[in-house]
Structure 1
Amino acid sequence: MKEIKAFVRPNKVNEIVHHLIDNDFENITLSSAEGTGKLQDENAFVSQKFSVTDSEIAKLEIVAEDEDVDTICAIICEYGCTLNPGDGLIYVSDVEKVYRVKTGLGNGEK
């Protein structure tokens, strides 16, 4: 399994999530965040919460089967892209094990 973390523009989140759900990727965690980077947006501002950040960003997190990673990343890229600097990044990491809080069992255990 893989964990996909995507940092995208907040105004693109609804469209991205809509298309992920339409493609049966329904287990998505969304967070608001702030960050720094090469954002060259004229609307960027220095955060009032953190003195070093200059842009609001949304974080999407999805844990998926290995074979679904390319499809999920393609959806995020297609619907998150504005062709401007600061569109975001996607990180893909291995997930070694998953536990259910309800049962305490790991993936594959009964």
Structure 2
Amino acid sequence: MKEIKAFIRPNKVNDILHHLKEAGFENITISSAEGTGKFQDENAFVSQKFSVTDSPIAKIEIVVYDDNVENVVSIISKYGKTLNSGDGLIYVSNVESVFRVKTGFQTI
């Protein structure tokens, strides 16, 4: 299994989620975050929590079977891009094991 983390523009989240769910990917975590990079959003602010943050971002996290990675990355890329700097990044990592909180049993 793989974990996919996508750091994207907040205004793209709803469109991406709609298409992921439409493709059958329903177990998704979304977080609001702050980031810094080459791009600085025109609505950027100096964070009260972190002195180096300059842009609001959203993080999408999803764990999928290896066969689904290309499909998920494609959906995120297609519906997350604006073709401008700062569209974001997608990370794909290996998942060694998964355990259910309720039972403590490994699921894969």
Question: Where on the TM-score scale, by shorter chain, does this alignment land: which range?
Answer: over 0.9
Q: Are residue 34 (structure 1) and residue 34 (structure 2) matched?
A: yes
| Identical pairs, percent | 71
Letter in 2 for 1:90: I
What SS does the corresponding residue of 1:86 show, helix, strand or coil?
Answer: coil
Q: Are residue 7 (structure 1) and residue 38 (structure 2) matched?
A: no
Per-residue deviation, 1:45? 2.8
Letter in 2 for 1:37: G
Distance in 2 (CA, whole Å) between partners of 1:26 and 1:80 is 18
What SS does the corresponding residue of 1:73 show, helix, strand or coil?
Answer: helix
Q: Are residue 21 (structure 1) and residue 21 (structure 2) matched?
A: yes
Distance in 2 (CA, whole Å) between partners of 1:83 and 1:48 is 30
Paired position in structure 2 for 1:97: 97
Paired position in structure 2 for 1:74: 74
TM-score, with structure 2 as normaliser? 0.95
What SS does the corresponding residue of 2:104 show, helix, strand or coil?
Answer: coil
What SS does the corresponding residue of 1:51 show, helix, strand or coil?
Answer: coil
Per-residue deviation, 1:97? 0.2
Query: Number of aligned pairs?
Result: 108
Q: Is the 8 A contact 2:3 2:63 kept in 1?
A: yes
What SS does the corresponding residue of 2:33 show, helix, strand or coil?
Answer: strand
TM-score, with structure 1 as normaliser? 0.93
Distance in 2 (CA, whole Å) between partners of 1:104 and 1:47 is 38
Per-residue deviation, 1:46? 2.4
Q: Render the CA deviation track for 1:55-89: whole Å, top value 9, x for unaligned.
A: 00000000000000000000000000001100000
Per-residue deviation, 1:102? 1.3
